[in-house]
Amino acid sequence: MKFWVLAGAMALGGCGGELIPEARPAAYVPVPAAPPAAAPASVTAVKGQTATRLIAQFGQPAMDATESRARKLQFVGPICVLDAYLYPPSNGRSEPVVTWLDTRQRDGGPIDQASCLAALAARQPVGR
């Protein structure tokens, strides 16, 4: 019995009146968000744009072709090619707008449209 009393006393003896401060997690410091890209990188943001807005966004197109009422602007970047097809609205009273997009890698392979748009938006267009 003396053993247990002695063991308990020794255990309690190490607990002076001083409390050990609790460990606290480091304060949360938010990471600043990256500034928004100047160019839209989503397909829905590009559809409905006029040729003027596309050129302001991606620079001068590598190709600008018109056939009948349709217009095709082609933008070439380091990793992909974007073909934007513009057609006048059904009422025919305003500028043609992008209604269809086609993207591909420079070697012709497939690429995600959003990835291609982001790559084109990230580059410095000629003339800026």
> In this predicted model, what pLDDT tens digit does every residue of 75-102 receive, in sequence order?
999 999 999 999 998 887 889 999 999 9
Sheet with 70-76, strands from edge to edge, namely 63-67, 70-76, 80-87, 97-105
What does the alpha-carbon distance between residue 61 and residue 84 come to, in Å, rounded to a whole number?
Answer: 10
Q: What local confidence, expressed as pLDDT, does residue 79 receive?
A: 95
Cα distances (angstroms) measured from residue 24 to each of 21, 28, 85, 93, 111: 9, 11, 58, 66, 47
Res. 12: pLDDT tops 90 = no
> The domain containing residue 50 runs over which residues?
43-122
Q: Is 38 a domain residue?
A: no
Q: Is 108 a domain residue?
A: yes
What does the alpha-carbon distance between residue 62 and residue 73 come to, in Å, rounded to a whole number?
Answer: 8
What does the alpha-carbon distance between residue 9 and residue 51 come to, in Å, rounded to a whole number?
Answer: 86
Give me 123's structure tokens.
């580059």
What does the alpha-carbon distance between residue 109 and residue 120 come to, in Å, rounded to a whole number?
Answer: 17
Res. 24: pLDDT tops 70 = no
Mean pLDDT of the chain: 79
What is this structure's pTM? 0.64
Q: What local confidence, expressed as pLDDT, does residue 70 receive?
A: 93
What would the pLDDT profile of 44-86 be if each residue is shown by its tens digit? 889 999 999 999 999 999 999 999 999 999 999 999 999 999 9
Domain CATH for 114: 3.30.1450
Q: What is the rounded (10 degree) CA torsion for 77, 63, 53, 82? A: -40
Q: What local confidence, expressed as pLDDT, does residue 127 receive?
A: 47
The count of structural domains within the chain is 1
Q: Is 127 a domain residue?
A: no
Q: What local confidence, expressed as pLDDT, does residue 75 receive?
A: 97
Res. 40: pLDDT tops 90 = no
What does the alpha-carbon distance between residue 51 and residue 61 come to, in Å, rounded to a whole number?
Answer: 10
